[in-house]
Structure 1
């Protein structure tokens, strides 16, 4: 969840609000756009947040949301390692904020030991991750912007998410451990310290403006991910743990067959390697390396599927048709 937002803003000269207040004011409208309780969003279709709070978000869709967050924090925390000793960004690298181990534990709990084989970033998530990487490559301000947006939000509105998840799904620890900051005794005091560091950050005015601009981009990317997730709510009949198990089986036990499928009915005869990345009731998703670049491949089933037992025969069909087409090419 993006960072909490309150307070006032003004031109960057003497007598105007401090940097943290300028950030909060500049991002207020973005925050309101993601808040399900905001009046201006009341007429839109219920999204992930709305359904989490009203108890109608299925555990499968909660898991899919959790999985997309994995990729975002993977990027932010890889950047944190690089900036830990940086004079400007280093003061914002807190080990107690790291979320990746908790997300991994949650996904293992929700999807089983093969969880990593069953998650893939949505296009919107990939774009978000690309933006994080690009911004952090520009300098410390990029890291500060994305870390602030995520972590202060997790310590604020994110706590309500954790409470709702525990209430809805009966979690006790794993499943919602992402929202637990065991190393932070007082979130309020921690956020005050964080904002004090923002006010004291050693950046020129132009650098501060760029941080604010990047925070707004982070909000927009987060909104795009939530919108993409919202479009898919309730549409996949297969549990994430089932998807993870089958993808892991195909990629580890039948890697050669997966490559044949992508080369055949997948339409990329020159594919060098391939992996299955997911599936739903309408088709399967793969990723194949072609000319050194990984490309997504979508292959439709012969008809709609809804049961796990139906998946294997369809994969066998895809392999058989692919093998025949390649042999006859």
Structure 2
């Protein structure tokens, strides 16, 4: 089905199709591009969805995917709070759709209580969140576009993701609670009502067209996040739970040492503050605040690491080298 609804069910472009049908026709090709069962899937390397369904996605990579979704829903649901009483967007703000609490519970189950210290948005996720923020700031159509794309997807294909996660990892509730909508008795009826509201939306045709364009952008951003995640599948030898625990320890118990490392071997002598955001077998990642702006830096290990016990000595080495490089300006830890 073509992406342009005017070229299909509405050849004259008269707008006679219901708005929800126009959206579905316009976004069909984007939807198919993300579907592991589509014909296009045979022409690409297995991604997150493919591996989830065939059972080869590790629980660690599943957790990393889940973590990226946290940032997306955090942005959408912050906008939902602002638009709850809006005459146009308000009818599309449903408490029973909210996912952030479920994602937080899943991540606490998967990564432990220090989970927030061990997740950071990928560059594609950051771009996605920036687009959500910008679109929602432009008007109610931006919020509706991003909420529609995510939530109706969760109620549709997302249910298959939940079933696969429970089957693959033995989850019973937490771990895949993101996919459970306990407040919605009938997803089909709910989706029908949602689309009915779209068909009655009080927006001029020009704004409706912009809303459709924003939905296509949302699909593209989601695809970019999945692509970036796909590039890292199976490559980090450290479990997200381990990363979260060590990052939390460095940022809470050794914040001054983290800053020394970033000022020294991180080549950011003017850093005002710093936090460790993650690491893998090749190096550690930090976010450094300098001049009022936060930037990401990466500090390589001296040699590849693969065991948790190897991380602490390497961090001590980085701190020692940094203190020597910065001496005599660095106080004793």
The corresponding residue for 1:74 is 74
- 2:217 aligns to what SS in structure 1? helix
The corresponding residue for 1:58 is 58
- 1:146 aligns to what SS in structure 2? helix
Name the CA distance, whole Å, in 2 between partners of 1:58 and 1:299: 26
The corresponding residue for 2:96 is 96
Q: 4+ residue runs of structure 1 moved beyond 3 angstroms?
A: none
Name the CA distance, whole Å, in 2 between partners of 1:67 and 1:200: 35
1:1-329 superposed matches below 5 A: 9-10=9-10, 12-13=13-14, 16-327=16-327
Name the CA distance, whole Å, in 1 between partners of 2:270 and 2:46: 43
Name the CA distance, whole Å, in 2 between partners of 1:264 and 1:273: 13
The one of the two structures with greater contact order (alpha-carbon pairs below 8 A, sep at least 6) is 1
Name the CA distance, whole Å, in 1 between partners of 2:145 and 2:43: 30
Deviations 1:51-86 (A, max 9, x none): 000000000000000000000000000000000000
Aligned residues: 322
Name the CA distance, whole Å, in 2 between partners of 1:318 and 1:23: 53
Q: CA deviation at 1:17?
A: 1.0
- 1:27 aligns to what SS in structure 2? helix
Q: CA deviation at 1:322?
A: 0.6
TM-score by length of 2: 0.95
Contact 1:118–1:240 (CA<8 Å) still a contact in 2? Answer: yes
Q: CA deviation at 1:13?
A: 2.1
Contact 1:272–1:288 (CA<8 Å) still a contact in 2? Answer: yes
Deviations 1:261-289 (A, max 9, x none): 01111111000110000000000000010
In structure 2, the CA distance between the partners of 1:38 and 1:271, relative to structure 1 (3 Å rule), is same
Name the CA distance, whole Å, in 1 between partners of 2:183 and 2:42: 36
Provide the alpha-carbon RMSD of the alignment. 1.1
TM-score by length of 1: 0.96
Q: CA deviation at 1:185?
A: 0.1
Structure 2: gaps of 5 or more residues? none
Name the CA distance, whole Å, in 2 between partners of 1:190 and 1:105: 24
Name the CA distance, whole Å, in 2 between partners of 1:136 and 1:29: 24
